[in-house]
């Protein structure tokens, strides 16, 4: 069964619903994972997505912040949510897909501006979140299962995932401690970077451009914060991957763009 999966930090699903409709019309994903939906569950636009064919969904949101959603044109099995750092801040959803696949939609905390956990509680939260998630995946020996992990992981691990490796080494999202912890998380589940499987690490690749840039396209000071990972049993099913950078130029755009991975 062919499958097209997309992940997108939408930065308010209700505000950017027209952009989501446009993306769906262009990419036709079977499964769409959103982060930073920024709405309580009762206000999530379920009817709008059902009208587009996404009748199975996991919605896990809160007022004004965070929130994730998994929208599917395929029948979903069991769904669940997971909380980390003793907080219920709507950052992790889990769904069972056809074929025995376990899908994780994750929104890692951004971490604030100061890369010092003692001086910045937000950065401490981010590091703790990564540690707890790593321990959970490692303890369950999930590397032998068919799993997909997607989401805004808020870390650009490679030198080519940022516009300037040297200048961003002390900027939250590309600091050595974050990159190391993301690597440990990836290793805990034996995950493979599905996007870099097709787009070589030597090629610069971004999924986020700051709203602060006067002209994001001209300056092109991006970072690759959004990821799709798979476990080894799914490697042979990978068919293609792409980052839809033009979506950053749409009207009322999110600062992130969709990432699409296709499976055979």
pLDDT confidence band for 211 (50 / 70 / 90): very high
Summarised one tens digit per residue, pLDDT across range 160-188 is 999 999 999 999 999 999 999 999 999 99
Q: Over 80: is that where the pLDDT of 86 sits?
A: yes
pLDDT at 141: 62
pLDDT at residue 221 greater than cutoff 60: yes
Percent over 90 (pLDDT), the chain: 95
Residue 133 pLDDT level (bands cut at 50, 70, 90): very high
**What percent of the chain stands above pLDDT 70?**
98
pLDDT for 143: 56
Mean model confidence pLDDT for the chain: 96
What is the pLDDT, as a whole number, of residue 95? 98
Q: What are the pLDDT digits (tens) for 35-75?
A: 999 999 999 999 999 999 999 999 999 999 999 999 999 99
Residue 214 pLDDT > 90: no
SS (H, E, C) the chain: CCEEEEEEECCCCCCCHHHHHHHHHHHCCCEEEEECCCCCHHHCCHHHHHHCCCCEEEEECCCCCCCEEEEECCCCCCEEECCECCECCCCEEEEEECCCEEEEEEECCCCCCCCCCCCCHHHHHHHHHHHHHHHHHHHCCHHHCCEEEEEECCCCCCHHHECCHHHHCCCCCCCHHHHHHHHHHHHHCCCEEHHHHHCCCCCCCCCEECCCCCCHHHHCCEECCEEEEECHHHHHHEEEEEECHHHHHCCCCCCECCEEEEEC
pLDDT of residue 100: 93
Domains of the chain: 3-263 (3.60.10.10)
pLDDT at 255 over 60: yes
Quickly state the pLDDT bin for 145 (edges 50, 70, 90). confident
């Amino acid at each position: 069964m062919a499958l097209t999966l997309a992940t997108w930090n939408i930065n308010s699903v209700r505000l950017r619903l027209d952009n989501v409709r446009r993306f769906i019309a262009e990419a036709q994903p079977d499964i769409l994972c959103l982060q930073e939906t920024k709405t309580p569950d009762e206000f999530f636009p379920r009817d709008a997505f059902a009208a587009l064919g996404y009748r199975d969904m996991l919605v896990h949101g809160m007022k004004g912040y965070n929130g994730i959603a998994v929208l599917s044109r395929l029948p979903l099995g069991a769904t669940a949510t997971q909380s980390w750092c003793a907080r219920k801040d709507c950052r992790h959803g889990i769904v069972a897909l056809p074929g025995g696949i376990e899908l994780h939609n994750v929104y890692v905390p951004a971490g604030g501006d100061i890369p010092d956990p003692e001086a910045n509680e937000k950065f401490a939260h981010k590091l703790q979140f990564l540690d707890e998630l790593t321990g959970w995946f490692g303890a369950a020996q999930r590397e032998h299962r068919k799993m997909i992990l997607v989401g805004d992981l808020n870390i650009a691990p490679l030198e080519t995932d940022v516009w300037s490796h040297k200048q961003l080494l002390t900027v939250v999202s590309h600091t050595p401690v974050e990159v190391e912890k993301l690597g440990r998380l990836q290793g805990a589940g034996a995950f493979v970077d599905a996007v870099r499987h097709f787009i070589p690490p030597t090629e610069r690749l971004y999924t986020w451009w700051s709203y602060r840039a006067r002209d994001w396209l001209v300056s092109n000071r991006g970072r690759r914060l959004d990821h799709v990972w798979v476990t080894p049993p799914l490697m042979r099913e990978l068919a293609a991957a792409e980052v839809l950078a033009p979506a950053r130029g749409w009207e009322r755009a999110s600062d992130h763009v969709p990432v699409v991975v296709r499976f055979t």
